[in-house]
Structure formats: structure tokens, C-alpha cells
Chain A
């Protein structure tokens, strides 16, 4: 595209100055390459994307030689030789060889049916394959891959996109926008596999499928590789020109040989190579100016991109990764599927990512290129040009006051301003009351601010402005309970999804909300939700307790506090072998080994695993220990087998994730040697059965348990325990222990759910046991075998000189 464009620019400036010969490897006249995507999608024909037909070349006396690539340049003789043997001399030579698609050299990449997406020939092959029907795999979830996938699926193929990175178009989009894009494409029937690495392409002579490194096999009769491009520089290199990643050019597009110029994707200017068309236009202008003695010069380009998939609007420009001193302005509108993020540094826009509503992309891009100071419009920047410049009301209250009574406030529930005002007038003087009576802001919550402004406007000084619900953190206007409820009600499945649907105001949350969301999803979707390591606190990520000096302590599980010589020996050996400075008996009757270095953890776990010991989860928001006394087997007072019941209970409950740490104890008689009345769940054995206690806490605010009820058998005690834990797991807020939870909701409510409602109790217990089927894996065993070994290894070692 660049070569012909340069010729056009040249002719426009000074038509008679040069006699021009153009060599093209392709059989076609100059066409608009970027429109190949609409051609594939069936939205345009090839003729519609041709830029100049043959007559134009004749009219301008341009010699056009097609299907004949140049194979050698003789700089001494100033000639080029093409494949056909044709030799043509030059005074000035322009190289515009573009890029070659990159083909990953996996086994099978030469099979028939493996193609790239670069020129019209590729498009014709794709169309032919689609006409034959069948399944296609597109490797690469970048701009090009997604456009290929879109075209093929419009042509009726079943398409799977395989993308190595965790988010689509990661070079243009952040995680949030990438997630929206993925959901939209999936809704259109494509299968999108992210984090998927291709192992091989299988088939005898033709493609039959693609195998991933994790073993999955995806059947396919067509494989499109769209994993990147490489500047096509071999011709220039062989001619001895200076070449880096691309052919080196100066500001006038002149290469290291003054008689040879180069433009387009094949060049490297000031360390940059470009893979988009906009820079070409700039380059071609500078080149034509140079060839006609104007010398304006090219100064590099800032680029923006759009995805050309009809109905999906994506825009990205500049540096969306921000960097030093950058701030994010984020707007999420879940009901419209809109996400906008503008990145600002020193009051200037440095990048933008827009999804769903890209109308203002051009405006942001322009402000960015011009380096405009945006401090005066900053507050309204994110709402777009019309709002920020069109005299949009600066005072949000005035803006709300100006709305007509019919204006819709809450889209989810169709509530108008008039209705909200009437409902406030009718006595609903808090946000919750408004939500309760006219439903405004009770669903997705995006209109909460407007409703609050209406409250302030209607009630004047009488409106305290305090939201009854404390928000989860500064990233959201929702409280914990709202978030939990909405996750379940809307069937949300991932952290980015929650953040989008509930209008998070930050790109990826903070250290308060991420661990909470991770837990809520884990609890709501047992066996399905994939845990997010980066949203866990260090102890859970490392499966050990971090200590003040940065080393870790390790507590192996001792079921019910019972141990044996083999376990003791293994612990003693570990202490010696790894030079642990301290071993201590914990308050929960386990042995704690202190001072283990991060990199030694996997070896320590392997040694403990070998003696049959598993992680004690002493680090987790999870079941920690079940403390027991000796009970009827040995103690002269014991009425029941408290040790045995403790062991059984620990076997049932270990590994479960909870809102906070959770401790259990079982005492053999009311003397209560296991201190069961300051545990989250405590059992006191009595002659006639088992007293079940809940909500105890031995922490800063010591709290003695409440008696939940009395049951007669061990089996019942375990069943109630499971039900109680599940109720706590499903309803407490993250980082709320059972004691404050029970004080907040009241013991009566908990009794009603666990004691009085037999059916509800059974359901809770069943849900707990179901989720346990996915949880009771020893996290140490996998790590000891080498899983995620990078967590324990430094990235690299460095010696200082």
C-alpha cells in the first residue's frame, strides 16, 4: 500500500518529474489491504477495495509489472532484477515490501490448510474453505486473528480462536475491555480459548485439527495463523543496506544508500517499526516532499487502532499501560456494555481504551496527539466531547435539577425523575428507602449518584447524604452484601465480569476488593470458578505464613491434634535439615516450624508430604484446626469420644475456604479442656449427646459462644456443623469472623436457618459437602511436585561488579 501511495503523492506534487516502474509480487493492482477483512466477511467485494484501476497507471505513465517480485538489487549498476529475469535500471529506488506474516514453526505448520491472513490470495483460500463448510481454528487473538475469525464465522464456519495470552488483543486492550470483547464474541458463537498454547497441527497431508499443550484437540479443516508480522527486509539486507528490525531510514525515508528509499511496514524509523496504515500516510508525504525538494521530514507517528468487526466497537490509542505518574479515569456502564478508560499523565492524555461506545475515540486521540492540557475539562472528560465541551452542567445537582420530570433515572426499573421525587416526598428519605419503595437504583446501581443528588435536591439540608450501606472499598459504590447478591443473581463468573457489571471505578480493583471477590466467586461456583492467585494475600498464595522478617512458618496438619512418631520424626528432620530456628506448639495443638525461606518451601513440603502430612491451612481464610481433648478413651470424666469426633470433623471440613479463619474444638465433657466455647464452632459432649456452640472468638475481642442447640448423635453434630459452616460461607462478609457476623445478624436468625428449618439445613450441608469435593486437595503436594515453581524462584540472579 505504501509503495503506490508514495507514487500517488509524488504524482500529485510533480507529475512529470520521474518515470516510474512498479514491481508487485501479487497479481492484483493496488488495493486497500485493510479492507480484506470486510471482503472476507462478505461486506465488500474485491473490486470495491481497489484503489486505482489499471487505467490510472496508464494515464499517469506508470509501468506496472505484476506477479513478478524483485529478487535482487545491484547498487553498483543501479538495477533491479525480477524473478522473470527482467532487469530495470533506476536513479532512485523505493522499497516498500511490507511485512511477512509470522508462522509459528510448530509440527504440522506446513500442512495443506494452514494459511496466514495477509493478501487477497489468503482471503480467496479462506472463502473456498468456508464454502466447503467445517471447522476453523484461528491462532492468535489480536486484531487480525479476530477479524479473520469474524469473517469465517459469518461465512458459516464453526470457529475457535486460540490465544496464548490471558486476554484478547492484549497489546491494544486492558483486561476489562478484553473481557468484554471475549464475552461479545462468545455470544456470537465463537469459541475463545485464552491462555492456550498450540503444541502441534495434526493431519496427514491436510489439516485435521490443532492440539494444545494441555492435550486438548480441536478438530479443524482450516487453520489461520495470525500471530504477528515481520518486516520483509531480506531484499534490502542482501543488497547490503543497513537493517535492524526494519530497513533503517532517516527523516526523509532515505536508507543507508542515498539512492534508495524505503517506506511502510518494512522500515525502521527512529527505532520504531509500524504495523498500521496511518504512519504510512505520514511517511509517504515526507518521502514525496523529499523527492520534490521540499524536505518536511517525518517525525514518527502515534497510532490508534479499531477492530473492524461489525457491531463490536473497540478503540485503543497510545499507551494504555500508563507508566510513571499516570492516572486512570474509568467509566463502566454495564447495561449498555460500555467501558471507557482514559489514561492521563501531567494533565495530558497519554492513552485511551474504549469499548462499546467509541464515538469519542477520535477526540481523545486528537487531544493526545496535540498534547493538550485537559485540566479544565478533566471532571467531564470521560463523558465525551459533547458533554465536556458542550457546556455540560458542571454542578451535578444543577444537571439533575434541569432534568424534566419524565426523564428516566433508573433504566433497569424504568423509574422517572418524577416518580423518584414523589417517592422521596412520600417519606423515603434514604437511598435504601428509595430503593425499597420505587426500586430506583436497586438493580445495577449505576444511577445511584443521580438518585442521591435527587435526595439532596429534594430534601435540602435534611438529607444527611450518608449511604446506609458501607461500600466494599473505594472502587465501588456497592456494599459486600449487594455484591454477593448480585454475583448470584446475575450469574457472574469472573472478577472482570463483576467489575464491569457493577461499575467498578478502577481498572483492576484494590487489595481490599479483589480477595473478597475471589472468595465470593469461589463460594458461589464450586468446582467451576478458577481461583485467581493474584487476588490472594501472600499467605494463601504461598501456602505458608509470612513472618516479620519475610521468612515463612509451616504448620502441617495433625488431625484432631493427634500425631505419631513418623510425623514427629519428619518434623524434626525438617527442622534440622532447613535450619529452622524455632519449633513451637500452637494454641490449636499443632507444631509450627518457623524461619523457612521462600525458596525452600517446596522441599519442606515434599519432606512433610512424604511422611503423610498435608497443609494445615494455618495461613488461610479457611478451616484451621479442630482442637480436641482426650475424651472418654482416657479421661476419667469424658462422656464421649471427643478426639474421634474432632478427627472426623477435621476430615470433613479441611481445605474449605471461608470468609475468615475458622476454628473448631470438641471437648469431652463440660470441663471443656479443648476450650470449645471460644471457637467458631464448638462441641461439648455431655451424657445425653452433644451441645453445639457457635460464634466464639479468642481474638482481640474475646467472645464466648452462643448455644445453638443440642443434638443426640455424632452424625447430627457433623451435619449441623456442615450446615453452619455453609451458612457462614454464603452469608458473612469477607474478613468477618463468625463472632461479629452473629452479632450483626442475630443468633435467632441463625437458629431459624439451622435448627428450625430441617430442609434448609439439609440443603446447606449438602452444598457444603458438594463444594468440599473440589477443595480437599493438598496445595502443598502440587507445589512440591513443581507446580508454580516460579512462585518460589527468583526471576534472576545478579552479581554486582
Chain B
């Protein structure tokens, strides 16, 4: 992975603590960027492994998010469904530097 893949998507303050915002990817899956109560930042594809609920609209608690549609709990760090449920949402590399959120979106697979 090369350094120039990191894309600046905004400031950490642009996301409320225990909230999420989306990054719209043209021609790709929408990304949900989460800010936990302790300011840890995570990014996932904005789609629940259950029935595709928009995870960015769920309730963030600890380092999990509860899907807004049927309340599955998804771990923000791994994208894995918790508890009795199974399934996984792809995670997106993310880091915070000087208060800016940088993500490295998955590169399109060459044909």
C-alpha cells in the first residue's frame, strides 16, 4: 500500500462523539466513519451483514454499533457481527492525524 492512498475525509469534530457520518464513494460502496465515545475512529462499509441496514445510523456504544434495522451488534474494529449473529462487514483502513481523519479506501480490483 502506498502512502498516497490515504484520503483526508474531514475533521474528527465533524462527527459527534458516539456518532457516525458517511463518505459517499462514487461508483463504490458508501463508507461509514464512526467516532466512539472515547474518540477512537473506525470505518466500515455502510452495510449491515444481516439485511444491509445503514450502520452509520445505528447507536454507537463502546466500540460497537447496533444496526438501526434489526439491532444486530457489529464490532467497529473488525466488522464482525457479535453475539449469536454471524456475518461480517468489510472494514476500511482509517487513521487520525492532527485531528484529520484519513481513510484508505479499498482499491478497485483490476480486471
Contacts and interface: CB of A to CB of B under 8 A. Distances in A.
Interface in B45-94: 51-54, 57-64, 66, 68-69, 71, 73, 77-78
A166 interface: yes
Interface in A755-801: 790, 793-801
A153 B38 CA distance: 30
B61 A514 contact: yes
Interface string A322-352: 1111101000000000000000000000000
B40 A321 contact: yes
B53 A550 contact: yes
A534 B59 contact: yes
A174 B33 contact: no
Interface string A193-204: 000000000000
Interface stretch (A257-265, A395-403, A538-546): A538-546
Contacts of B39: 170, 321
Contacts of A800: 25-28, 105, 108
Nearest to B66: A511
A508 B58 CA distance: 15
A795 B33 contact: yes
B52 A320 contact: no
Interface in B18-46: 18-19, 21-28, 30-31, 33, 36-40
Contacts of A328: 62
A718 B100 CA distance: 54
A797 B68 CA distance: 23
A508 B37 contact: yes
A328 B61 CA distance: 12
A274 to B, nearest CB: 16
Main secondary structure, interface of A, reads loop
B10 A795 contact: yes
Nearest to A170: B39
Contacts of A326: 63, 77
Contact of A790 (B14, B17, B68): B14
Contact of A795 (B21, B58, B105): B21
A538 B57 contact: yes
Interface string A500-515: 0000001111110011
B57 A175 contact: no
Given A511-B59, A534-B18, A542-B57, A320 B23 contact: no
A321 B69 contact: no
Given A174-B37, A321-B38, A794-B22, A510 B62 contact: yes
Contact of A509 (B19, B25, B61): B61
B16 A798 contact: no
Contact of A175 (B17, B21, B101): B17
A175 B38 contact: yes
A596 to B, nearest CB: 14
Contacts of A797: 23-24, 26
Contacts of A539: 68
Contact of B38 (A166, A322, A325, A794): A322
Contacts of A166: 17
Which of B39, B59, B69 has the most A CB atoms < 10 Å from its CB? B59
A588 to B, nearest CB: 22
A57 interface: no
Contacts of B19: 533-534
Interface string A724-762: 000000000000000000000000000000000000000
B69 A546 contact: yes
Nearest to A508: B37
B37 A175 contact: yes
B65 to A, nearest CB: 8
Given A321-B39, A511-B71, A798 B24 contact: yes
Contacts of A508: 18, 37, 61-62
A255 interface: no
Contacts of A322: 38, 40, 63
A511 B7 contact: no
Nearest to A510: B61
Nearest to A532: B18
A799 B40 contact: no
A281 interface: no
B105 A534 contact: no
A166 B15 CA distance: 13
A80 to B, nearest CB: 32
Nearest to A799: B26
Contacts of B22: 794-795
A326 B38 CA distance: 12
A550 to B, nearest CB: 5
A793 B59 CA distance: 18
A548 interface: yes
A798 B9 contact: yes
Given A321-B40, A511-B59, A546 B18 contact: no
B31 to A, nearest CB: 8
Contacts of A18: none
A801 B16 CA distance: 30
B36 A321 contact: yes
Contacts of A234: none
A535 interface: yes
A537 B59 contact: yes
A541 B57 contact: yes
Contacts of B10: 795-796
A790 B78 contact: no
Given A508-B62, A537-B68, A795-B10, A550 B37 contact: no
B37 A324 contact: no
A534 B68 contact: no
Nearest to B27: A800
B23 A796 contact: yes
A798 B25 CA distance: 5
A166 B71 CA distance: 27
A564 B38 CA distance: 50
A535 B59 contact: yes
Contacts of B108: 800-801
A795 B15 contact: yes
A506 to B, nearest CB: 6
Contacts of B58: 511, 538
Contacts of A799: 25-27
A602 to B, nearest CB: 16
Nearest to B20: A795
Interface string A459-470: 000000000000
Contacts of A546: 54, 57, 68-69
Contacts of B25: 798-800
A598 B108 CA distance: 27
A464 B45 CA distance: 45
A378 B52 CA distance: 37
Given A511-B58, A538-B68, A798-B9, A533 B16 contact: yes
A559 B17 CA distance: 37
Contacts of A507: 37-38, 62
Contacts of B27: 799-800
Which of A322, A509, A798 has the most B CB atoms < 10 Å from its CB? A798
Nearest to B16: A534
Nearest to A551: B54
Which of A326, A506, A542, A550 has the most B CB atoms < 10 Å from its CB? A550
B62 A506 contact: yes
A537 B64 CA distance: 15
A533 B24 CA distance: 23
Given A324-B77, A324-B78, A796-B24, 8 more contacts: A174-B37, A322-B38, A326-B63, A510-B64, A797-B23, A798-B7, A798-B24, A798-B28
21 contacts: A175-B38, A507-B37, A507-B38, A510-B59, A510-B62, A510-B64, A533-B16, A534-B17, A534-B18, A536-B59, A537-B59, A539-B68, A541-B57, A794-B24, A795-B23, A795-B33, A797-B23, A798-B105, A799-B25, A800-B25, A800-B27
Interface of A: 166, 170, 174-175, 320-326, 328, 506-511, 514-515, 533-539, 541-542, 546, 548, 550, 790, 793-801
